[in-house]
Amino acid sequence: MPIIVNLDVMLAKRKLKLKELSEKVGVSTVNLSILKQGKVKAIRFTTLDAICLALDCQPGDILEYVE
């Protein structure tokens, strides 16, 4: 898949654990873990917005397109 999810990189930069992000965003740890592994087929804009707000980043910091 040409879309790479860099959620783990952003979590490390912000020194946050997945559980802490889950509590801030209101998405289960399991769903965030699946996203982090890049195994999702879609993400809601509201979820992406909440993650970006919690991590103080842009969507491009989390999602990367590679040919």
Which pTM was predicted? 0.90
Pairing of β 63-65 and β 3-5: antiparallel
| pLDDT at site 1 | 61
Give me the residue label for tokens 């992406």.
Answer: 48
| pLDDT at site 12 | 96
For the chain, list the domains and their CATH numbers.
Answer: 3-62 (1.10.260.40)
Each residue's pLDDT tens digit, 32-53: 999 999 999 999 999 999 999 9
Alpha-helical runs (H) found in 15-65:
18-25, 29-36, 45-55, 59-62
